[in-house]
Amino acid sequence: MDELEKFRKEAEFRRFSPRTIETYENCLRKFFGWARKDYRKITKKDIREFLEYVQGRGVAGGTIHIYLNSLKFFFEQVMRRNMIIDIRYSKRPNRLPEFLTKEEVKKLLYSIENHKHKVMISLLYSAGLRVSELVNLNVGDFNFLGKYGFVRQGKGRKDRIFVISEKLERILFQLTLGKNKEDYIFTSNFGDKYSTRTIAEIIKKASELAKINKKVHPHTLRHSFATHLIQNGASLNEVQAMLGHKSPETSMIYVHMASPNMINIKSPLDNL
């Protein structure tokens, strides 16, 4: 489809991440497959009916927003259609995301025998990184004197700081020796950058060996990191900054995931 090629060129020009481009393109293909119309004949009513159709299939609010954002970008920014799409859907998840307990994190890391793999997964958890952020870390992103690192151009094209765990500081520093600042800190035996799929496979295998009865993927460790921060007494603002969330409402979910006694909340009944 010529219009999808125009979309891709515009998205690349605006420096969308490859993952976002792929996601948006899949959304557009599904929409046009459903609508069976030329894009010039699409109306706002068509878009609303499609989103209602998707919602009726039990899709989460956040996913519906991705569909909506892809359609808004395509029609308003790529095709320059004078069609303001202001449909709103709640992004609140239907259920709380799953996270690991601290003991489960220990078991997971203990199950990884490969040293470099263990360091990567430990950093993923200890800094609350997204898997795409982990594999793109360069040597120059680390400030070992200050004990912090930088996520460059993370989600939303934003930079943010992450804390370097004291347990990992010396090991990570050793991995930088002999490398240039622009080199990836983690590379395979062939010198290539790790893929996000490889990281996911490492975590899946480790969770099976650790006999963790949960679906564990890279983002599970980010959920676990945030929940454990709250349990350790971190404020909502601190968690928001560490995760790089745009609003505190996004980080609020981790307060709900932490047990009340760990965040110093008492039932009002106890004060009667």
DSSP letter for each residue of 116-174: HHHHHHHHHHHHT--HHHHHT-BGGGEETTTTEEEE-S-GGG--EEEEPPHHHHHHHHH
Residue 84 placed within a domain: no
Question: Which residue is catalytic, options 30, 155, 179, 217?
Answer: 155
pLDDT the model gives residue 253: 56
In this predicted structure, what is the pLDDT of residue 263? 43
Tell me the one-letter amino acid at 226.
A
The pair of structure tokens assigned to 75 is 């029609």
The confidence score (pLDDT) of residue 90 equals: 56
Residue 268: its pLDDT value, please?
A: 43
Residue 199: the pLDDT is 94
Whether 30 and 106 map to the same domain: the answer is no
- In this structure, is residue 269 part of a structural domain? no
Given the residues 117, 118, 222, 228, the one annotated as active site: 222
Global pTM reads: 0.61
Separation in Å, CA 212 to CA 29, 113, 203, 216, 248 = 37, 17, 11, 8, 31
Any domain includes 138: yes
Question: Which residues lie below 8 Å from residue 2, measured CB to CB, with a gap of 6+?
Answer: none
CATH classification of the domain holding 18: 1.10.150.130
Question: 38, 31 in Cβ contact below 8 A?
Answer: no
Q: Are 207 and 220 in contact (CB under 8 A)?
A: no
| CATH code at position 184 | 1.10.443.10
Q: How many CB atoms lie within 10 A of CB 32?
A: 18
DSSP output for 225-257: HHHHHHHTT--HHHHHHHHT-SSHHHHTHHHHH
Same domain, 128 and 258: yes
Whether residue 257 sits in one domain with residue 225: yes
What is the pLDDT at residue 180?
A: 94
Cβ atoms of 152 and 106 within 8 Å: the answer is no
Instruction: Say if residue 70 is in the same domain as residue 115.
Output: no
- pLDDT at residue number 41: 84
Clarify whether 254 is annotated catalytic.
Answer: yes
For residue 110, what pLDDT is reported?
95
Low-confidence ranges of the chain (pLDDT < 50): 260-270, 272
Do 8 and 65 reside in the same domain of the chain?
A: yes
Return the pLDDT at 200: 93
Residue 201, in any domain of the structure = yes
Instruction: State whether 248 and 141 are in the same domain.
Output: yes
* 95 inside domain: no
Domain that holds residue 14: 2-78
Catalytic site residue 155? yes
* Number of domains observed in the structure of the chain: 2
Burial 42-54 (b: 16+ CB within 10 A, else e): beeeebeebbeeb
Residue 242 lies in a domain: yes
Assess whether 10 and 66 both reside in one domain: yes
> Which one is catalytic: 118, 130, 160, 223?
130
144/239 same-domain check: yes
